[in-house]
């Protein structure tokens, strides 16, 4: 079980709107044509549709598609924030292969 | 189209101050010159005209992170927009602290200014390329994202 400490720099009040949130693992899709990227809610890395340099092509997104979290931060904070994961079989299959 | 009073001149394009304006509930205060934003159109009030009771500039005294008196029309912020510093290494205000990756400089792209009192964040993305270009990402007190662009333009994530 991974629980990040209170001193973690990535913690910036996300519990207000992400505690207990449900996530799906998805390829990044911008919410509209002229919105080309989003950031991880915690570490602020980018998710981009064009998969440019430094951009992540996929990650965990809330069911309302408003909030994106990268794989590392998802793993780091899933217990602390009691994240629920739905429809992400693909991610966990890939993760199991990596082990 | 919202009719403009006689005391207001319509300006489309760049508002004074670039990133330095303070935008409150759709109204930008650039230090004496009040500029309003209706959708993506910027309206600028002539400085010589006295303030009218009930005009949009009432909202400029709303503290950061507090709901403004201007109702959220869907693409206007419900909360007062923080003042964006000219230098990203400088704090946007006394309540803001830098939260960034250890070893990375304050004001860089691997961190954000955070207001613990309101839960807001301001992330400088000043090196972003493409059509979007240099901007700040503002997460308001409800966790909604806004893009603050040069010239005082504001875009809400998910609303065109």
Report the alpha-carbon distance of residue A91 to residue A24 in Å, rounded: 9
CB contact under 8 Å between A66 and B157, yes or no, is yes
Given pLDDT bands bounded at 50, 70 and 90, which one contains residue A89?
Answer: low
Neighbouring residues of B49: CB distance < 8 A, sequence distance ≥ 6: B7
pLDDT exceeds 90 at position B37:
no
Closest CA to A68 of A79, A76, A56, A80: A56
Terminal CA-CA length for chain A: 16
SS (H, E, C) chain B: CCCCCCCEEEECCCCCCHHHCEEECCEEECCCCEEEEECCEEEEECCCCCCCCCCHHHHHHCCCCCECCCCCCCCCCCEECCCCCCCCCCCCCCCCEEEECCCCCCCCCCEEEEECCCCEEEEEECCCCCCCCCEEEEECCCCCEEEECCCCCEEECCCC
The secondary structure of A34-45, three-state, reads CCCEEEECCCCC
Whether A92 shows a pLDDT value over 70: the answer reads: no
Mean pLDDT of B99-116: 95
Task: Kindly determine whether residue B143 and residue A67, on different chains, have CB atoms separated by under 8 Å.
Answer: yes
Contacting residues for B57 by C-beta, under 8 A, at least 6 apart = B27, B29, B34, B36, B45, B51
- In tens, the pLDDT along B21-32 reads 444 444 343 333
B137/A39 CB distance under 8 A = yes
Distance spanning both ends of chain B, measured CA to CA: 17
**B99 lies within 8 A of chain A by CB:** yes
Nearest CA in chain B to A29: B158
3-class SS letters over B44-59: EECCCCCCCCCCHHHH
How close is the nearest chain B Cα to the Cα of A90, in Å? 27
Q: What percent of chain A clears pLDDT 70, i.e. is strictly above it?
A: 82
Tens of pLDDT, residue by residue over A61-84, are: 999 999 999 999 999 999 999 999
Please say if the pLDDT value at position B41 is more than 50. Answer: no
pLDDT in tens, B54-67: 333 333 333 455 44
- pLDDT tops 80 at residue B100: yes
| The pLDDT value given to residue B40 | 42
Residue-averaged pLDDT of chain A: 87
Distance (Å) from the alpha carbon of A49 to chain B's nearest alpha carbon = 12
């Amino acid at each position: 079980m991974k629980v990040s400490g209170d001193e973690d720099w990535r913690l910036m009040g996300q519990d207000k709107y992400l505690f207990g949130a449900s996530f799906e693992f998805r390829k990044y899709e911008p919410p509209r044509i002229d919105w080309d990227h989003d950031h991880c809610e915690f570490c602020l890395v980018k998710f981009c549709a064009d998969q440019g340099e430094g951009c992540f092509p996929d990650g965990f997104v809330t069911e309302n598609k408003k909030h994106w979290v990268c794989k590392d931060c998802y793993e780091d904070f899933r217990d602390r924030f009691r994240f629920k994961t739905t429809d992400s079989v693909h991610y966990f299959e890939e993760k199991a292969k990596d082990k | 189209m919202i009719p403009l009073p006689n005391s207001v001149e319509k300006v489309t394009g760049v508002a004074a101050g670039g990133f330095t304006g303070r935008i409150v509930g759709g109204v930008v205060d650039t230090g004496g010159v009040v500029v309003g934003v209706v959708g993506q159109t910027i309206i600028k009030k002539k400085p010589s005209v006295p303030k009218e009771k009930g005009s949009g500039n009432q909202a400029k005294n709303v503290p950061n992170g507090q709901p403004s008196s201007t109702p959220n029309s869907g693409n206007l912020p419900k909360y007062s927009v923080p003042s964006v510093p000219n230098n990203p290494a400088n704090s946007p205000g006394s309540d803001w602290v830098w939260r960034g990756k250890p070893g990375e400089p304050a004001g860089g792209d691997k961190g954000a200014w955070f207001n613990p009192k309101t839960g807001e964040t301001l992330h400088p993305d000043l090196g972003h390329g493409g059509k979007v270009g240099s901007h700040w990402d503002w997460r308001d007190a409800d966790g909604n994202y806004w893009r603050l662009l040069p010239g005082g333009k504001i875009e809400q994530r998910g609303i065109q």
